[in-house]
Amino acid sequence: MSMSLGRLDVLVKVAESRTDQAAEELGRRKAGLNEQEGRLQELRRYMDDYRTRPLPASSMLIANRERFLARLNEAEVQQLRAVDYASNAVRESTQAWLVQRAGQQKFGVLQTAAAGRETRAAEQQQQKVMDDFALRGYAKPVSD
């Protein structure tokens, strides 16, 4: 059972649209990952800068500093989770895009095969018309 070229054209366009949507989603996910990684780098730079500052003179300020560093460490752990979540989203979106692209390619192969069959059928029909025309001309009695 063969599918008509027109129906395959529609399916190819739908597959292309889905592939494009998956690619756009992948782009959004990658941008989100880049943003989360940037936040993590910024946080780490701030933490490094804060750690290298001279120690305050009073023990109360030192205790405050240590509590603040502990909060910064908690923020780093939370940001690492955000990066991990964004990275997983990129992997999932990449997989979804690959699936859509593979489907689009399969429909493209089917479309090419159907176009080839239609071309061959048209050529065979044209050859048949030419053969019939030639046979009628050959079979026609010649009159003087």
Q: What is the pLDDT of residue 3?
A: 61
Inform me whether the pLDDT recorded for 141 exceeds 70.
no
Task: Give me the mean pLDDT over the 66-81 stretch.
Answer: 96
Please, what is the average pLDDT of the chain?
Answer: 90
pTM of the model: 0.70
Residue 143: pLDDT over 90: no
Give pLDDT tens digits for 6-55: 788 888 888 999 999 999 999 999 999 999 999 999 999 999 999 999 88
Instruction: Kindly state the average pLDDT of the residues 52-75.
Output: 92
Separation CA 63–CA 69 (nearest Å): 10
Question: What tokens appear for 102 in the block?
Answer: 């593979």
What does the pLDDT read at residue 140? 63
Instruction: Give per-residue pLDDT as tens, 127-137.
Output: 998 888 888 87
Q: What is the pLDDT of residue 139?
A: 62
Helix (H, G, I), strand (E, B) or coil at 56: coil
Closest CA to 118 of 35, 37, 3: 3
Count of beta carbons in the 10 Å neighbourhood of residue 28 = 13
Task: Please determine, for residue 113, whether its predicted confidence score (pLDDT) is greater than 50.
Answer: yes
Whether residue 2 is predicted with pLDDT greater than 80 in this model: the reply is no
Specify the higher pLDDT residue, 1 or 100.
100
